[in-house]
Amino acid sequence: MKLLIIEDDKNIISFLTRGFEEDGYIVDCAVNGEDGEYLASTNSYDIIILDWMLPQKSGIEIVKSLRDKNITTPIIILSAKDDVKDKISGLNVGADDYLSKPFSFEELQARVVALNRRDISKGINSLKIGETIINLNTKNILHNDKALELTSKEYELLMFLLKHKNHFVSNNMIEEQLWNHQEYINSNVIQVTIYHLRQKLGKDFIKSSRNLGYKIEYT
Q: Which of 134, 156, 138, 115 is nearest to 201 (CA)?
A: 134
Please check whether residues 135 and 113 belong to one and the same domain: no
User: Cβ distance 193 to 171 under 8 Å?
Assistant: no
SS3 at position 146? strand
Same-domain check for residues 11 and 116: yes
Q: Indicate if 96 and 38 belong to the same structural domain.
A: yes
By the 8 A CB rule, do 219 and 165 touch?
A: no
CATH number at residue 181: 1.10.10.10
Q: Which of 84, 106, 121 is the last residue of a domain?
A: 121
Residue 187: predicted pLDDT: 62
Residues 93 and 77 in one domain: yes
Residues 13 and 103 in one domain: yes
- Residue-level pLDDT at 122: 58
Pairing state between β 47-51 and 2-6: parallel
pLDDT at 19: 94
Contact 54, 67 (CB under 8 A): no
pTM: 0.63
107 plus 177 within the same structural domain? no
Domain that holds residue 210: 126-215
Give the model's pLDDT for residue 11.
95
115 and 171 both lie in a single domain: no
CA distance 105 to 103: 7
Q: Are 113 and 157 part of one and the same domain?
A: no
Domain count across the chain: 2
Residues 6+ apart with CB under 8 A from 190: 157, 171, 174, 175, 179, 184
> Do 29 and 85 fall within a single domain?
yes
For residue 68, the Cα-to-chain-centroid distance in whole angstroms is 20
Q: Which residues of the chain have pLDDT under 50?
A: none
For residue 47, what is the domain's CATH number? 3.40.50.2300
- pLDDT score for 69: 87
> Tell me, what DSSP letter sits at residue 94?
T
Instruction: State pLDDT tens for residues 62-114.
Output: 999 999 888 888 999 998 876 777 678 778 888 899 999 899 999 999 999 88
pLDDT confidence of residue 17 = 95
Give every CB contact of residue 130 below 8 A, 6+ residues apart in sequence: 202, 205, 218
**Are residues 104 and 33 part of one domain?**
yes
- Check residue 44 and give its pLDDT: 81
For the chain, what is the radius of gyration of the CA atoms? 18
Rounded Cα distance, 71 and 63, in Å: 9
| Residue among 38, 26, 35 at smallest CA distance from 7 | 35
Single out the residue in 121, 140, 163 at which a domain terminates. Answer: 121
Burial of 79 (0-12, 13-18, 19+ CB in 10 A): buried
Last residue of a domain, one of 121, 142, 173: 121
Same domain, 107 and 184: no
